[in-house]
Chains A and B, each alone.
Chain A
Amino acid sequence: MNVTHNYNSSTNTWEVSLSGEVDVYSAPQLKEVLHSLLDQHNSSMIIDCEGLKYIDSTGLGVLIGVLKRVKDNKGNISIRNLKPYIKKIFTITGLDKIFLIEVQE
């Protein structure tokens, strides 16, 4: 798993790129990185998942926890470029209604 991030001060938004595989092994690392970003600026977040190949319930749990914190501060999380088989997981768990899932035209 690899996470890169940039804070866009003009939009007050974290721009995060998530790639590789997120599972029970790597989810704690993802949790640490994303929460450390919110410690700096608790703002909305855009997560680009173009390079994301796999995510399981532990990874989704991390994203839910981060979303709760962001929403407490009136922000939101947008997720873009999900591969169809990963978007399916967001759909069957109902998380597509909680996160802002951006669909490419």
Chain B
Amino acid sequence: MEMDNIYLKVPAKPEYMLVIRLTTSAVASRAGFGVDEIEDIKLAVSEAGTYVMNHDRSIEWLELTFKVDKEKGMWIDIFASKSVHRDVPFFDDEQIELSFYIMQSLMDVVEKTMDNGVLRGIKMYKKYGG
């Protein structure tokens, strides 16, 4: 199985979500996804970053790993620099659930990554033609 890995580490601040989206679009395009799929992946990854940040304002970094399987699809891990402890969310619970629902609708797999029962990040997968 041929696999390319791409890594991105950005400050966990709202102003860097644009950097995450631009990078995600470029990686998804290079991986061979179509225009509509790229839009799906871009929104889902951006939602994941926002979802993690919205739970804890003291997170320092967001680390993203894109794993491109050129025959099947792409895995994306979005990790916080530390476990997420619920602080004061930027937005309300209703919206946070809307965010997760959007991710699930756009991707083939979306999983919360837990660390001793506490959210640490989100892992998602998009298959080609999915």
Instruction: Give the interface of A toward B (CB within 8 A).
Output: 21, 23-25, 54, 56-58, 60-61, 85, 89, 92-93
Shortest C-beta distance, A38 to chain B (Å), equals 19
B98 and A23: CB pair below 8 A? Answer: no
Tell me how many residue pairs across A and B have CB atoms closer than 8 Å.
56
> How many residues on the B side are at the interface (Cβ–Cβ under 8 A)?
25
Which of B2-10, B14-22, B108-116, B119-127 binds A? B14-22
B102 and A25: CB pair below 8 A? Answer: no
Q: Using Cβ atoms and an 8 Å threshold, which residues of chain A touch B98?
A: 57, 60-61, 93
B36 and A58: CB pair below 8 A? Answer: no
B17 and A24: CB pair below 8 A? Answer: yes
Interface flags for B6-50 (1: CB within 8 Å of A; 0: not) read 000000001101100100000000000000100100110011001
- Within the assembled complex, what's the spacing in Å between the Cα atoms of A21 and B14? 13
